[in-house]
Structure 1
Amino acid sequence: MTLRLPPPSPSDRCLSTVGADKETHVKKLLRAALAAVLAAAVVPVALAPASPAQALENGLGRTPQLGWNNWNSFGCNVNESLVRQTADVMVSSGMAAAGYRYVNIDDCWSEMSRDGSGNLVASRTKFPSGMKALADYVHRKGLKLGIYSSAGLTTCAGYPASLGNEQRDANLWASWGIDYLKYDNCGDHQGRTAEARYTAMRDALARTGRQIFFAICNWGNDNVIQWGAATGHSWRTTGDIEGNWSSVMGILDAQPRYAGASHPGAWNDPDMLEVGNGLTDTEARAHFSLWALLNAPLLAGNDLRTMSEATRTILTNTEVIGVNQDWGGRQGNRIVDNGNTEVWTKPMANGSVAVVLLNRGSSTATVSSTASQIGLGPASSYSVRDLWAHTTGTSGGTISASVPAHGAAMYIVSGGGKPATSFSLRGNGSNRCLDITGAAQANGALAEIWDCNGQPNQRFTATTAGELRVYDNAKCLDVVGGGTANGTAVAIWDCNGGAHQRFVVNTDGTVLAGGSAKCLDAAGIANGTRTVIWDCNGGINQRWTKT
């Protein structure tokens, strides 16, 4: 049994940590023997995945949220006038017409202590009219108002937070007409786990009876990828973004491991936009293109009142926003990494493919792909829509652009349909292929590794919904019982669209299980070694080659 460690945690902060207590995250060795885990595994139960918690059944988050947050530009310098003026400009600039809805207030909005009844109090100097009047104003604009707290005793800036007061605070926000909660991870946690603290607020929001969007902000820590979708409408995957190219690219690099986890109602959040904040216009277009392709929340962080026309044009590009709001079965992911040049793609619901050609380098470069490489079938020609030039051309199969330094080109490519070409997955550590035991086709037949033979029980087809189908699309690869624990077996089952049947074959050779964000793993090299899911660790036993 090989002992595996979880991947390193990202930066453990979401905002300025002035006056904040940071939770220590201790890595734990996983000591259970794989054989014992497999011995306890049972065949899948013919049930759909467990229903999401009530907070996720309030009709929100069916597409990624669009809006604005004050923190990136103003920090603690937030007040009623700023929020009202921003709501005004969100309408007058065309952002509201483009889909932006949430006007979100971040940290530092309250007094430094609760009132005599234990309630939070909006700062009397910053918000003299009170939050209810402010919410009414925003609502009259056709927009929604968001607020901030933390799952600790204090916020990141030292203001009173909501741990132990979840229901009291949720009821208060609902009475004010709040529509969105960003819930941070600062302050004393009183020894409670992140999952318990965030679940408590989820349930409190649900009990108010008001539709409130719940945005988890625990910086990608505490295995949020495993419980986030049952708790919030979105969850942060990294530490804070900053208004520079290096920060944007660093956060981008952390996203591929999460690609299989998002779905309508539950979105990966690589943090707010820095369009108009320190980036050049070229960098901002690339940033916006990539966040759209990732189905990320699009939350502007600039001062809307003074933004340039170039910034406004970027933020209101409805063709790019349309990619963000479209669900074709999985979020965008990187399919080619040539160092400074990369190709990112995302399937669209109508069978077309969104493509971003990225140039991370410091000089202009030609970035290219092909219709076959991005997942389209053969055709005499393809339609190529440039989402920034707003022009449409045709191609015989090559998608290519001269991309400026720190820039990106973005297209919708259509034609040819989705190929049904099947492939085998050869384990890099064993040189054996992913195989359905005994060529069985019954629900619950387990997946293992076996000498590659090209037979139907070793041939898989990737679908636009993110499935790996076998036996001429008759069955789907499936994580047993929808489990997320290390060592959970992998089998086949009738295709049902569940998260536990989504698998992403990444360019680094890993196969990511969407329901758990864990990797397909073969812990041995002998014929008959069962495959399981396990924390991704970069081991050769988690690397597969399509053949």
Structure 2
Amino acid sequence: MRVLPILAGLLLLPALLVTPEAVAATPSADNGDNLAPTPPMGFNNWARYECGVSEDVMVPNADALVSSGLAAKGYDTVTVDDCWMTHSRDAAGNLVADTVKFPHGMKWLGDHLHAEGLKFGIYEDAGTSTCGGYPGSMGHFTQDANLFAAWGVDYLKLDGCNVPTAQGKTKEQTYRDLYAQQSAALAASGRRIAFSESAPAYFCCQNPDWYRTLSWLPQYGQLWREGWDIAVHGSTNRWGSVMTNYSYNVPLQRYAGPNHWNDPDFLITGDALTADESRSQMALWAMMSAPLILSVDVPAMDATSLATAGNRDLIALDKDPLGKQAARVSTSGTAEVLVKPLANGDRAVALLNRGAATATLTTSTTAIGITGTCTSSVKNLWTGATSTTTGALSAAVPAHGTAVFRVTKGAGCGVTPTGQIEGIGGKCVDDTNSGTADGTAIVLYGCTGNANQRWAVGTDATLRTLGKCLTASGTADGSAAVLSTCTGSTAQKWTYQQSGALVNGASGTCLDAYGGSSADLTKLVVWPCGSFQVNQTWSLPV
């Protein structure tokens, strides 16, 4: 089902405020229905081998997925990235596989993968040439889609290098047209081919065209690379790259769900990451419902790396059928707490330690949105150990490590989405000085993890902290956002849209960081809704 645009191109997501635990509607993309109901998993050569791709690279890695047991756990799509073809098309205009690299050809490779119970993925580009300088699909979308279908391709990654802006169109409009053409060509090919779209990576990050691009992706495909690539093999500071990709991806939970997944790029488990860093990437990607696509030397993975990538509890977390991406509950210095709602009502919780030393990180069942008084069951997803709690959740987390728990609330308790509201510059919506007097100013401030930045999303369309409601003090443009006693008035009702806008029920205007500023103490007001305006874009709790 396609969602219709309203209010300057914004998309309404009433379920986030009215029924927070409801399953998001599954869109029908132009290239086919239900092609990725859960995040895809598998192997891609790029981050490990780059243009050193060949049959001698792809086949042993595919075989190792099977022999290691990873394929049986879901790592079943093997994708050949850039540089697999010759530098020119044949006389009929067809792409030609490089027979030095792939002596048996691509149809043979697809058949080999299918015989092992795997899926066959391939790379192309929407532009005139690929990032590596090989022929792009521009002007050949139908021809290439038909060729891929004949080869038995199950998954297409379409990059966005070398895209000339069409006359009379913006760059964003040009990309949309090209990705729409590719989607239609896949649909007409006669084969079900999942579509990975790299378009948003060419607009990254936190700007109107980036958000505008993210808004149309579900119409054409199933997953998208929305930012920078993970650092390739041999790079320095690969952990820094993991954290960069996590950081641009985590506020985008409103775009994720069955058949539409945010993709922060490859898993690099055990390749220039410590064991704790590898576990962190696996945990965070699973919390974010991200595709789990290894780009390492799979035959060389040691037992620790195989155990990390093959952790059944984390894979189940990633592939939970509700399809919700985690949101941050709190950020305080180098400590972050994330929560992810699960289909059976459980809450997954991650405690991330970005710091350089072991730290004890603590949250509570109240902070992660469990309401009422009860005893909850807790499972440590790394060790398998189980325990119970009536409130506290705590762990000693190693440097660059992430603890992950699955929390089952006890009888008598409920759930309300709770956590920080993030806006421009990664800053948080903050109740000034934790004041509870009616009229206390609501401002933008650096995230602290304190209770005055912890907001509960009510089923009555309210946003509450410290027992009071976020309120528009008037309907005039520039009216301040304040904290007030909850009365049920329309000034306290907020409708969340897929663009990230929060529309006030009384004024019909949007929550706005005044003047587009991201400075601490910037006042929040209601202001006419713009089109994918960054200072009106908010990430809500889940």
Report the CA distance between 1:338 and its aligned residue.
1.0
Report the CA distance between 1:61 and its aligned residue.
1.0
SS at match of 2:243: helix
Amino acid at match of 2:187: A
Which of 97, 102, 110 in structure 2 is aligned with 1:135? 110
Where does residue 230 of structure 2 map in the other structure? Answer: 241
Where does residue 366 of structure 1 map in the other structure? Answer: 360
Amino acid at match of 2:66: V
CA displacement 1:171-196 (0-9 Å, x = unmatched): 00000101111111112435361111
Where does residue 154 of structure 2 map in the other structure? Answer: 179
Map residues 462-481 of structure 1 onto 2, 5 A cutoff: 477=495, 479=497
Whether 1:265 and 2:259 are equivalent positions in the alignment is yes
Q: What is the rounded CA distance, in whole Å, between the counterparts of 1:174 and 1:284 in structure 2?
A: 35
Report the CA distance between 1:459 and its aligned residue.
9.4
SS at match of 2:378: strand
2:472–2:504 Cα contact (<8 Å) kept: no
Report the CA distance between 1:257 and its aligned residue.
2.9
Report the CA distance between 1:40 and its aligned residue.
13
Which of 30, 35, 38 in structure 2 is aligned with 1:54? 30
Over the matched positions of the two proteins, sequence identity in percent amounts to 35
Where does residue 436 of structure 2 map in the other structure? Answer: none
Q: What is the rounded CA distance, in whole Å, between the counterparts of 1:44 and 1:305 in structure 2?
A: 44
Q: What is the rounded CA distance, in whole Å, between the counterparts of 1:381 and 1:422 in structure 2?
A: 19
SS at match of 2:367: helix
| TM-score of the aligned structures, taking structure 1 as reference length | 0.74
2:442–2:481 Cα contact (<8 Å) kept: no
Where does residue 414 of structure 2 map in the other structure? Answer: 418
SS at match of 1:273: coil
Where does residue 357 of structure 1 map in the other structure? Answer: 351
SS at match of 1:477: strand
CA displacement 1:221-253 (0-9 Å, x = unmatched): 242212111122111121111261111111111
Map residues 199-238 of structure 1 onto 2, 5 A cutoff: 199-218=180-199, 219=201, 221=203, 222-223=209-210, 224-238=213-227
Whether 1:67 and 2:67 are equivalent positions in the alignment is no
Where does residue 132 of structure 2 map in the other structure? Answer: 157
Amino acid at match of 1:537: V
Q: 1:542 to 1:195 in 2, by over 3 A?
A: closer
Q: What is the rounded CA distance, in whole Å, between the counterparts of 1:106 and 1:226 in structure 2?
A: 26
Structure 1 stretch displaced more, 392-401 or 220-229: 220-229
Amino acid at match of 1:238: G
Q: Please, what is the CA RMSD of the aligned residues?
A: 3.9
2:314–2:381 Cα contact (<8 Å) kept: yes
SS at match of 2:414: coil
Q: What is the rounded CA distance, in whole Å, between the counterparts of 1:297 and 1:115 in structure 2?
A: 34
CA displacement 1:398-429 (0-9 Å, x = unmatched): 11000111111111011144345999998726
1:149–1:181 Cα contact (<8 Å) kept: yes
Q: What is the rounded CA distance, in whole Å, between the counterparts of 1:451 and 1:371 in structure 2?
A: 24
CA displacement 1:70-125 (0-9 Å, x = unmatched): 01111111111322222211111011111111001000101111001000011111
Q: What is the rounded CA distance, in whole Å, between the counterparts of 1:488 and 1:418 in structure 2?
A: 25
Q: 1:220 to 1:375 in 2, by over 3 A?
A: farther
Q: What is the rounded CA distance, in whole Å, between the counterparts of 1:77 and 1:351 in structure 2?
A: 45
Q: Which runs of 5+ in 1 are unaligned?
A: 1-36, 439-446, 461-469, 471-475, 493-502, 511-521
Q: What is the rounded CA distance, in whole Å, between the counterparts of 1:44 and 1:437 in structure 2?
A: 24
Q: What is the rounded CA distance, in whole Å, between the counterparts of 1:408 and 1:449 in structure 2?
A: 35
Whether 1:291 and 2:285 are equivalent positions in the alignment is yes
Where does residue 94 of structure 1 map in the other structure? Answer: 69
CA displacement 1:498-534 (0-9 Å, x = unmatched): xxxxx9x9xxx99xxxxxxxxxxx9995xxx676465
| TM-score of the aligned structures, taking structure 2 as reference length | 0.74
CA displacement 1:315-372 (0-9 Å, x = unmatched): 1101001110014463112111111111111111111111111111111101110001
Map residues 16-27 of structure 1 onto 2, 5 A cutoff: none
Q: What is the rounded CA distance, in whole Å, between the counterparts of 1:44 and 1:338 in structure 2?
A: 29
Amino acid at match of 2:366: S
Q: What is the rounded CA distance, in whole Å, between the counterparts of 1:544 and 1:187 in structure 2?
A: 32
Q: What is the rounded CA distance, in whole Å, between the counterparts of 1:316 and 1:392 in structure 2?
A: 20
1:488–1:532 Cα contact (<8 Å) kept: no
Report the CA distance between 1:206 and its aligned residue.
0.8
Q: What is the rounded CA distance, in whole Å, between the counterparts of 2:83 and 2:9 in structure 1?
A: 50
Whether 1:197 and 2:178 are equivalent positions in the alignment is yes
Where does residue 463 of structure 2 map in the other structure? Answer: none
Whether 1:457 and 2:489 are equivalent positions in the alignment is yes
SS at match of 1:402: strand
Q: What is the rounded CA distance, in whole Å, between the counterparts of 1:422 and 1:319 in structure 2?
A: 24
Q: 1:544 to 1:152 in 2, by over 3 A?
A: closer
Q: What is the rounded CA distance, in whole Å, between the counterparts of 2:343 and 2:38 in structure 1?
A: 13
Structure 1 stretch displaced more, 305-314 or 183-192: 183-192
1:237–1:269 Cα contact (<8 Å) kept: yes
Report the CA distance between 1:379 and its aligned residue.
3.4
Q: What is the rounded CA distance, in whole Å, between the counterparts of 1:150 and 1:306 in structure 2?
A: 30
Q: What is the rounded CA distance, in whole Å, between the counterparts of 2:495 and 2:405 in structure 1?
A: 31
Whether 1:305 and 2:299 are equivalent positions in the alignment is yes
1:433–1:458 Cα contact (<8 Å) kept: no
Q: 1:54 to 1:153 in 2, by over 3 A?
A: same
Report the CA distance between 1:272 and its aligned residue.
0.8
1:220–1:235 Cα contact (<8 Å) kept: no
